[in-house]
Chain A
Amino acid sequence: MDDARPAQRKLVNAMEPGASRTNYLNADYGLKSWLLTRDHKRIAILYLISITLMFLLGSFFAVLIRLELLTPHGDLVQGDTYNKLFTMHGIVMVFFFLVPSIPAVFGNFLLPLMIGARDLAFPRLNLLSWYVYVVGAAFTLWAVITGGVDTGWTFYTPYSTTASHTNVLTTAIGIFITGFSSILTGLNFIVTIHQMRAPGLTWFRLPLFVWAHYATSLIMILGTPVIAITIFLVGIERAFQLGIFDPALGGDPILFQHLFWFYSHPAVYIMILPSMGVVSEIITCFARKRIFGYEFIAVSSLAIALFGFLVWGHHMFTSTQSVYAALIFSVLSFAVAIPSAVKVFNWTATLYRGSISFEAPMLFALGFIGLFTIGGLTGLFLAALGLDVHVHDTYFVVAHFHYIMVGGALMGYLGAVHFWWPKMTGRMYSEWAARVSAVLVFVGFNLTFFPQFVLGYLGMPRRYHVYPDEFQVLNVMSTTGASILGVGYLVPLCYLIWSLWRGPIASANPWRAAGLEWKVASPPPTENFAQTPIVTEEAYSYPVREAEVV
């Protein structure tokens, strides 16, 4: 076993003098020291705990959805209940898990470390963003507890403004508030990356994780205010019986879709770009070489972020949008696929002549490449106008965006958890269990969502709680896969928590990775760096082996 040795040496490293120093975790004790902290690392932990709870809540809804769809006739729950389940699954997962997941946890924790700073530019704003998130989540949870909401996470008008009798207003307030958490995080990251880089750390020496977060932050500050005001308009329309989106009073329901997707399409890139950053870090570390095409991966992140704002209309090809607008949005949608393809090719090329090992983070990263490739390619199907007319609002779409958001974003998130866990907690988890969970997630995921592509092309519409009998076999496959996937998610929760008490002590750099965050102790001290580091080399400068043939 290759992997036994590094683990043993990690134990040895733990005995080094640095291990017993004070770090950000033991620098202070007590609830107050956490709730009033301005340390980006502690705020990251606060986020980690909150989003994990929201993930469990969202998963609970997913379990009920899959159980209900086991049979075609709607035996488990009533239609209204089912509608609330998929709505709350979407809202909780999108707004309260996926959007904050990697940026708020790992971006928060790692950005200052990666750029050699003592903290983010605005630590108090950072703490505020967590409180804002918690208040928004509280409103949403209140809406869930007091009867839920049934509009779908998309809040399409006029259903959400005139027809629904559920807690739309409370949920809208929750999402409105949470948006500001996202805005504050994005603002903080942008300023930090611009102003706080260590001497010598030029833009093209930045780790790609930082580039990805810069691009993500741009979307957060440019897109989120629009969803906030849109949700605000839905809220006041409901509260004061206005007609902003109500056609009976002269409103335009399609306008809502424009405003909604102006944010919500780029929001997909908020979810996937950070994952791409994580994968770039992991692949280069475990292939032991500088990433292939660094500049292209870096710039493609920016391209995705900016061009991602030009394609929102591809969610509206059947909405009675004008054909001419549809043509523009379609061609731009195809164009925005290219930077993603460039990333995949570069990651693959990075493996060439590497010295590759397969610890758990690498398994998640390779899994990401596979699932994201499928998700990205099926995205082309949805950008193709004539084809989208058939598959729009069917399970094809459901499968596609789960491949991106779960297969992509969540795999990346799990990769990040496994890669930086030793840095965050100072403990190693069970490598064996982690590999098992990576395989379970990959297999379970494909079994859950691949059949849904077939279901979609067959014509099963999404958000159906009763469906024709001939779709049952594929739905049963999907639910079976979901059970495996569920186990794949629960296993890490167990061994990671276990590792906090019983895991071997991690060294400063258990993966022998390049990057400033690995040059400080695990867990890092509160001030990160005793002295501001001076950077003299490019990212991922692994010692180079002489090429046999060049």
Chain B
Amino acid sequence: MSSPGHNVAHQFDDAVQQRDASTLGMWVFLVTEVMMFGGLFATYVLYRSAYPEAFAAASHHLNAQLGAMNTLVLLGSSLTMALAVRSAQHGARFGTVAGLLSTIALGSVFLGVKAYEYAHKFEEKLVPGPYFVFDGPEGTHAELFFSLYFAMTGLHALHMVIGVGVLGTLAVMAARGRFSVAYHNPIEIGGLYWHFVDIVWIYLFPLLYLLGRH
């Protein structure tokens, strides 16, 4: 029988129960995230089916190269995150910290590129609202596209920002030797979150950037 260690909170019997509970907790949280993005995806599906031409025309104003590059950056960050988790599972402190820091770095690159894209949209007056200007047919429907573009990528970017903060905290904890082979669950949980954010982008990229490119 395992006795509660110093890393086991009082409400848990042992480390296994704690690990299972927090892992399940994160998965359940991700379900809520799926549903939240699901509301946006439902909106997207409805309007895209109603206004296919306007959506395609509006999509051409997004920079597919930057989008593709950002996709690769984010996939890379998922790899470094997975490597960090693997290092933590093996109790390798340096590998864990290095993996987390690389993930943070790649995440920041993604956010930087996103910020550049946003700034560009401001210059092109493609930010929905009173100053929106779209040169083409069905400007209001293109505005719908950009409303959804900003809502979806904005919510995604917000998740990235939170993720960078979480991973930063984990990196500090890891550097201080808080984790071990026996206790590294927080890193796995943080990893689950980061990978989920990656998955959202895997769908956002083709749905927003690659419409009607042919």
Let me know if A249 and B32 touch, CB within 8 A.
no
Let me know if B151 and A233 touch, CB within 8 A.
yes
Q: Inside 8 A of B43's CB, which chain A residues have their CB?
A: 233, 244, 255, 259
Q: Quote the shortest CB–CB distance from B190 to chain A (angstroms).
A: 16
Q: Does A339 contact B (CB under 8 A)?
A: no
Q: Does A152 contact B (CB under 8 A)?
A: no
Q: Does A532 contact B (CB under 8 A)?
A: yes
Q: Does B129 contact A (CB under 8 A)?
A: yes
**In the complex, what distance in Å separates the CA atom of A424 from the CA atom of B179?**
39
**In the complex, what distance in Å separates the CA atom of A328 from the CA atom of B105?**
50
Q: Would you give the 0/1 interface string for A190-211, flagging 1 where the beta carbon is closer than 8 Å to chain B? A: 1110111000000000000000
**In the complex, what distance in Å separates the CA atom of A517 from the CA atom of B75?**
49
Q: Inside 8 A of B2's CB, which chain A residues have their CB?
A: none
Q: Does B20 contact A (CB under 8 A)?
A: yes
**In the complex, what distance in Å separates the CA atom of A117 from the CA atom of B10?**
10
Q: Inside 8 A of A230's CB, which chain B residues have their CB?
A: 39
Bin chain B's interface residue count. 35 or more
Q: Does B28 contact A (CB under 8 A)?
A: yes
Let me know if B10 and A118 touch, CB within 8 A.
yes
Q: Does B25 contact A (CB under 8 A)?
A: yes
Q: Does B93 contact A (CB under 8 A)?
A: no
**In the complex, what distance in Å separates the CA atom of A112 from the CA atom of B11?**
10
Q: Would you give the 0/1 interface string for A232-256, flagging 1 where the beta carbon is closer than 8 Å to chain B? A: 1100110011111000111110010
Q: Quote the shortest CB–CB distance from B133 to chain A (angstroms).
A: 14
**In the complex, what distance in Å separates the CA atom of A67 from the CA atom of B9?**
53
**B residues 15-47 with Cβ under 8 Å of A?**
17, 20-22, 24-25, 28-29, 31-33, 35-40, 42-43, 46-47
Q: Does B169 contact A (CB under 8 A)?
A: no
Q: Inside 8 A of B7's CB, which chain A residues have their CB?
A: none
Let me know if A249 and B36 touch, CB within 8 A.
no
Let me know if B36 and A252 touch, CB within 8 A.
no
Binds A, one of B78-86, B118-126, B141-149, B195-203: B141-149
Q: Does A310 contact B (CB under 8 A)?
A: no
**In the complex, what distance in Å separates the CA atom of A122 from the CA atom of B141?**
45
Q: Does A221 contact B (CB under 8 A)?
A: yes
Known interface pairs A119-B11, A225-B33, A241-B130; A236-B151 also in contact (CB < 8 Å): yes
Q: Which residue of A lies closest to B13 (CB)?
A: A532
Q: Does A323 contact B (CB under 8 A)?
A: no
Let me know if B28 and A191 touch, CB within 8 A.
yes
Q: Would you give the 0/1 interface string for A102-135, flagging 1 where the beta carbon is closer than 8 Å to chain B? A: 0000000000100001111111000000000000
Among B22, B42, B50, B144, the residue within 8 A (CB) of A243 is B144
Let me know if B35 and A225 touch, CB within 8 A.
yes
**In the complex, what distance in Å separates the CA atom of A248 from the CA atom of B144?**
12
Let me know if A123 and B11 touch, CB within 8 A.
yes
Q: Does B63 contact A (CB under 8 A)?
A: no
Q: Which of A223, A242, A258 has the most CB of B within 10 A?
A: A242
Q: Does A183 contact B (CB under 8 A)?
A: yes
Let me know if B25 and A191 touch, CB within 8 A.
yes
**In the complex, what distance in Å separates the CA atom of A233 from the CA atom of B44?**
12
**In the complex, what distance in Å separates the CA atom of A129 from the CA atom of B31?**
18
Q: Which residue of A lies closest to B128 (CB)?
A: A242
Known interface pairs A187-B28, A242-B128; A223-B140 also in contact (CB < 8 Å): no
Chain A interface, DSSP helix/strand/loop, else mixed: helix
Known interface pairs A221-B28, A221-B31, A225-B32; A117-B39 also in contact (CB < 8 Å): no
Q: Which residue of A lies closest to B145 (CB)?
A: A250
Known interface pairs A242-B147, A252-B50; A225-B36 also in contact (CB < 8 Å): yes
Among B9, B35, B46, the residue within 8 A (CB) of A252 is B46
Known interface pairs A187-B32, A194-B24, A195-B24; A117-B11 also in contact (CB < 8 Å): yes
Q: Quote the shortest CB–CB distance from A129 to chain B (angstroms).
A: 13
**In the complex, what distance in Å separates the CA atom of A255 from the CA atom of B40?**
11
Let me know if A225 and B39 touch, CB within 8 A.
yes
Q: Inside 8 A of A237's CB, which chain B residues have their CB?
A: 147
Q: Inside 8 A of B40's CB, which chain A residues have their CB?
A: 229, 233
Q: Inside 8 A of A187's CB, which chain B residues have their CB?
A: 25, 28-29, 32
Q: Which residue of A lies closest to B31 (CB)?
A: A221
Let me know if A121 and B39 touch, CB within 8 A.
no
Let me know if B141 and A250 touch, CB within 8 A.
yes
Q: Does A181 contact B (CB under 8 A)?
A: no
Let me know if B128 and A121 touch, CB within 8 A.
no
Q: Does A224 contact B (CB under 8 A)?
A: yes
Q: Which residue of B lies closest to A246 (CB)?
A: B140
Q: Does A228 contact B (CB under 8 A)?
A: yes
Let me know if A259 and B32 touch, CB within 8 A.
no
Q: Which residue of B lies closest to A244 (CB)?
A: B147
**In the complex, what distance in Å separates the CA atom of A132 from the CA atom of B206?**
35
Q: Which of A187, A230, A258 has the most CB of B within 10 A?
A: A187
Among A123, A226, A232, A243, the residue within 8 A (CB) of B35 is A226
Let me know if A228 and B28 touch, CB within 8 A.
no
Known interface pairs A119-B10, A194-B24, A250-B141; A183-B129 also in contact (CB < 8 Å): no
Among A117, A233, A240, the residue within 8 A (CB) of B128 is A240
Let me know if A121 and B151 touch, CB within 8 A.
no
**In the complex, what distance in Å separates the CA atom of A151 from the CA atom of B209?**
36
**In the complex, what distance in Å separates the CA atom of A90 from the CA atom of B64?**
46
Let me know if B46 and A250 touch, CB within 8 A.
no
**A residues 14-50 with Cβ under 8 Å of B?**
none
**In the complex, what distance in Å separates the CA atom of A240 from the CA atom of B46?**
21
- What are some 10 contacts across the A-B interface (CB < 8 A)? A118-B10, A123-B11, A183-B32, A196-B12, A221-B35, A222-B31, A222-B35, A223-B35, A250-B51, A252-B50
Interface of B toward A, CB cutoff 8 Å: 9-13, 17, 20-22, 24-25, 28-29, 31-33, 35-40, 42-43, 46-47, 50-51, 54, 128-130, 138, 140-141, 143-144, 147-148, 151, 155
9 more contacts with CB within 8 A, not counting A196-B11, A225-B39, A241-B130, are A187-B29, A195-B17, A225-B36, A230-B39, A240-B129, A242-B144, A250-B144, A252-B46, A259-B39
Q: Which 10 A-B pairs have the closest CB atoms?
A: A225-B36, A229-B39, A119-B11, A225-B35, A195-B21, A249-B140, A240-B129, A121-B21, A242-B147, A226-B39
